[in-house]
Amino acid sequence: MHGRPRIALKPEDAATSAAKAAKLRDLQAQLLLHHHHRIYTSEALAVSSKLLEMNPEIYTAWNYRKLALQHNLNEVTDPEIVKSTVEDELRVVEMALRRNPKSYGAWYHRKWVLSRGLAPVDFEREFRLLDQLLKADARNFHGWTYRRFVAKLKNVSEEEEIKFTMDMINTNFSNYSAWHNRSVLLSQLLKQKAQGFDSKDGILTEEYEFVHQALFTDPSDQSGWFYHLWLLDQTASPDELFLISSWPVPGSDLVLSTNEKMDGYKLFPTSNFSLCYFFHKQTFPIILYFNQAVKGVSSSTVTINSMFGANENLIWKPLSTTTSREAHCWVTYLNIPDVNSSSLQACSVEISLGHSEGIVSSNGSCYKYPLQFKYTIKLNNNNLEQFDGESIQELFVWNYEDVCCPAEIPYINSFDQLKISEDSVAKGLKDKKWCLETLSNEINLFKELSEENCKFVNLTLARLLVAHDAMMSHGALLVRKSTHSEEVLKLYEELIKLDPTHKRYYEDERSLVLMSQVTLDEEFLMKHTWHFNKLTSSSFHNHACLQLSGLSLSRISFAERLLWVQMLDLSHNNLRSIAGLEALQLLVCLNLSNNQVSSFTALEPLKLLDSLRVLDVSFNEIGAHPIDTTRFLCLSPLSHTLDVKLSVDQYQNGDIKFGDHWEAILLFKDLRLTQLDVRGNAVANERFGILLTEMLPTLNWLNGEHVRL
């Protein structure tokens, strides 16, 4: 086992082990020789059989037997010979499984043999093998996976298999694999709306009652709790696909100033000229945010009618750091036309979606609610006289001493869920009635158990309260407060003390609650939103700043409510990843100082922020860890092979070695930052500063010092 010191073998045991190793090496050598020369005789097959009986984990041996079976049966027409050969192959698998019942290679090989359809399947034999296996280890997930395969091959109904899972669970409540198999089968039946399973409410109600028996029998066993989590997901997660947020805000009235003296373009809400959106190129974005990751957003599924160019020429881009074409958030860019007149010219931008099929979520749901909204943009080629030309040459400092917090935050509704059709709202209310009642019943039930100080009870109660608040904050049931947020935060604080091993998970879940509390509650949002006045910063004095510093956040969430944010202060938190920030396409200034970011790969979402100009990542942990433990959050470095080849010659000179800083190069080479601060990180030194200056030709300020005239 892990962490246990090795015990020296006795002389007789050491001799036995050495003899076994020698025999394995001899059999492996013979196998490789037969494999290389494509020798598939009975003697050669016997060698591979002996090898797999001793060690079933040798994949080359299983691959060799596949080739041998295909070769030996290539021209055989006698069904008895075929049947005998297949049975011999299945016997080899059974011998291997006796050695290791959880051998991936053995189970995959058995499935491969049966799926070939070479001979009639002896289903009694297969189920008998499974009964023996599950009797020895009822939680062997390989056996349960194989049972699903055989049941499908025999056309055994899901209803019959569900009865089997119930028998196994009643025998032992701690059978996690049986609970999991039950969730898989029920998911299929509910999705298909099979006969007797068309009422999701009734089925899930029965399942709640069933799992309660396991939870109350042994609250410390986690098998039933995982199944309860699946039930909660089925109850609280919406089946329907909706558009929940967008920018610009539907129905808004905007003024676009295109003065040639400015280094860019300003967009002002007509109702409040104290707010300004600034763009550094002749385009501005249209952002759509869905409640699920979707694919298929294009000019054929989303129609934009305006004078800013033909709809068919628009290219929609998924805002995702992976290579997948699925994302919650999608963006396209409208070209700003030249304006020859100083008078205002009103242009209507109308967006339609849902009138044709094609937008599909990752779970297969189709967007089917036709939706149409519009906003107006007035073009003016003269800059509004109360604003000077935009400049970003000066050093910007995150100083809140001279800033102002307006009495009203313009466009605070920019993260509101869009109004859909009356039919969909009515259906949502009907669905939510049962869901809310179920969640309320579960909350009351677990509050009675929470006094037992069981981590599973407290965690489930926290999840139920979060799900209840989330459901109340959508659609026609809109409640602009997280009514249980304080109670949930207290539960997670207790869980961190009760179960410190999973501290980071609880911190992430707590961050979700904190982010929801700030962005959903208008009173909280007002306290965290600022405007930098002109005395503090002439560059960004019209921009809205959301200050979320010092909240102990460890992850970002609810980005759909932050699409309007231009300046974001996340300093003095516990952030290790910034996944989700890629949706903030208006973001110009970002403060990530004093967090726990351990590598530049964790900052990969920044590559999708075209408007970003000011970045502060000072006093993090970049370069302090020789092994990057956050790389799984980002693209594999292998996917950057072409970029690496293009960058080596450009950045490798003198004492600067590309291999030492490839992560930084791949992050910063496409950014157009004018100000960057990396002080306080292990990677920050004079040579690295030279590299950053070379990589970022637009950079004016590095670590608070002017680097260009």
pLDDT at 539: 65
Q: Residue 279 above 80 pLDDT?
A: no
The larger pLDDT score, comparing residue 364 to residue 464, is at 464
In a domain, 471, yes or no: yes
CATH code: domain of residue 68? 1.25.40.120
In a domain, 6, yes or no: no
Q: Between the CA of residue 624 and those of 186, 580, 598, 600, what are the distances in Å? A: 47, 24, 7, 12
In a domain, 406, yes or no: no
Per-residue pLDDT tens over the stretch 284-336: 899 999 989 999 999 999 999 988 888 888 999 999 877 778 999 999 998 87
The larger pLDDT score, comparing residue 699 to residue 623, is at 699
Is the same domain home to 501 and 539?
no
In a domain, 4, yes or no: no
Give the integer Cα–Cα distance in Å for 9 and 437. Answer: 62
Highest mean pLDDT among 114-118, 215-219, 404-408, 661-665: 114-118
In a domain, 309, yes or no: yes
Per-residue pLDDT tens over the stretch 16-74: 778 888 899 999 999 999 999 999 999 999 999 999 999 999 999 999 999 999 999 98
Give the integer Cα–Cα distance in Å for 43 and 220. Answer: 54
Is the same domain home to 255 and 203?
no
Is the same domain home to 36 and 154?
yes
Domain end point (choices 390, 408, 442): 390
Is the same domain home to 294 and 349?
yes
Is the same domain home to 160 and 267?
no
Is the same domain home to 78 and 206?
yes
Q: Strand ranges (DSSP E) for 370-513?
A: 371-380
Is the same domain home to 562 and 664?
yes
Per-residue pLDDT tens over the stretch 237-268: 877 888 888 988 888 888 887 655 555 677 77
Is the same domain home to 100 and 84?
yes
Per the structure block, which two tokens stand in for 4? Answer: 């246990």
Residues 457, 449 contacting (CB under 8 angstroms) = yes
Percent of the chain whose predicted confidence (pLDDT) is above 70 = 81
Q: Residue 362 above 90 pLDDT?
A: no
In a domain, 417, yes or no: no
Task: Provide the mean pLDDT of the chain.
Answer: 83
Is the same domain home to 441 and 561?
no
What pTM was computed for the model? 0.85
In a domain, 401, yes or no: no
pLDDT at 75: 84
Per-residue pLDDT tens over the stretch 479-535: 556 688 999 999 999 999 999 999 999 999 999 999 998 888 777 788 888 876 655
Q: How confident is the model at residue 6 (pLDDT cuts 50, 70, 90)?
A: low
Least confident of 129-138, 269-278, 424-433: 424-433
In the chain, the number of structural domains is 4
Percent of the chain whose predicted confidence (pLDDT) is above 90 = 49
Residue type, 534: K
Least confident of 124-138, 403-417, 544-558, 663-677: 403-417
Is the same domain home to 182 and 253?
no
Per the structure block, which two tokens stand in for 691? Answer: 């590299």
pLDDT at 344: 57
Q: Between helices 79-99 and 59-72, what is the axis angle to 10°? A: 170
CATH code: domain of residue 427? 1.25.40
pLDDT at 283: 82
pLDDT at 59: 93
In a domain, 336, yes or no: yes
- What residues make up the domain containing 581? 521-706
Q: Stretch 200-212: mean pLDDT, rounded?
A: 93
Give the integer Cα–Cα distance in Å for 615 and 376. Answer: 32
Is the same domain home to 126 and 228?
yes
Query: Three-state SS for 279?
Result: strand
Is the same domain home to 545 and 562?
yes
The larger pLDDT score, comparing residue 150 to residue 534, is at 150
